[in-house]
Amino acid sequence: MTNAEFGQAVRRWRDRVSPEAAGLPAGGQRRAAGLRREELALLAQISVDYVTRLEQGRATNPSAQVVEALARALRLSGDERVHLFRMAGLVPPGPDTVPSYITPSVQRLLDRLAGTPVAVHDAAWTLLTANPPYAALMGDPSRWRGNERNGVWRNFLGPGSRVRHTPREQRAFEAGLVADLRATAGRYPADQHLRRLVAELRLNSGRFAELWDAGAVGHHAAARKTVEHPHVGPLTLDCDVLTVAGSDLRIMIYTAEPGTQDAERLALLAVLGTQSLV
């Protein structure tokens, strides 16, 4: 396949996705019913310039991460997603790879939670997508690249998150993350990216290496969390993690008890979004 054919397919699929179907406001005069390039870039969390170069056949060798993001933003079916990977000269992820495909039905579910902070991670805790309320609450992830998008890496080697833990809670949280990652590594032993992630964590984090070598296997449990927001103050929220059967995706949802100050602050964040907040 040529770069032009890849770009033509992206443009053709972009034209068939309405902004309403993608959870975006239609807004103003539109030349076509489909997504604008700016909207596709927003949904895929890549630059508008890169979308333009892809569609014009001027960008070569898009990464698997970019192709996956485009497939998700364009609401492609399973067969269409495989075709997009092959047009990019990539081998579609197989059954031995940690799944990262968000089906159109799951995407519709996420669209209906547009006013609630929601993020979707794969089984290795790599962030696949996050909605605007989540970005306002936890910090905008749109500029994160590579392992920066992985929650385990961020907690052991990166800047962490806005969630506040006591020392005891932090130790339990770290142990739960590592036990969960070990369980995932056992289910996907041939996933090269996951093996490289674990190797980097073991090499550069003594705490991770200690927990990994302890051999615990388990699952990262949902919990009530306090998020220390730099502008609206602390919010104590329920964090529920839903697993999508058959895909191993984790949908993380933050909610507040109605009638509380936490609910008021969460509502304020939903209105303000990420403007001047990250």
- Summarised one tens digit per residue, pLDDT across range 123-145 is 999 999 898 899 999 998 988 88
pTM for this prediction: 0.82
Name, in order, each residue with C-beta under 8 angstroms of 220's C-beta and a sequence gap of 6 or more.
Answer: 125, 176, 177, 179, 180, 241
Name, in order, each residue with C-beta under 8 angstroms of 69's C-beta and a sequence gap of 6 or more.
Answer: 44, 45, 46
User: Mapping DSSP to helix (H, G, I), strand (E, B) and coil, where does residue 260 land?
Assistant: coil
CA distances (Å), 160 to each of 120, 124, 218, 252, in order? 18, 16, 21, 17
Residue 120: per-residue pLDDT: 94
Given a cut of 70, whether residue 277 has pLDDT beyond it is: no
User: 20-29, 118-127, 209-218, 219-228: which range is least confident on average?
Assistant: 20-29
- Summarised one tens digit per residue, pLDDT across range 33-53 is 789 999 999 888 889 999 999
Q: How many residues does the chain have?
A: 278
Number of separate helices (H) and strands (E) present in the chain: 12, 6
Structural domains of the chain sorted by starting position, each given as residue range(s) with its CATH number in brackets: 3-87 (1.10.260.40), 104-171+218-272 (3.30.450.180)
Given a cut of 90, whether residue 278 has pLDDT beyond it is: no
- Summarised one tens digit per residue, pLDDT across range 136-193 is 999 989 888 889 999 999 999 999 999 999 999 999 999 999 999 999 999 999 999 9
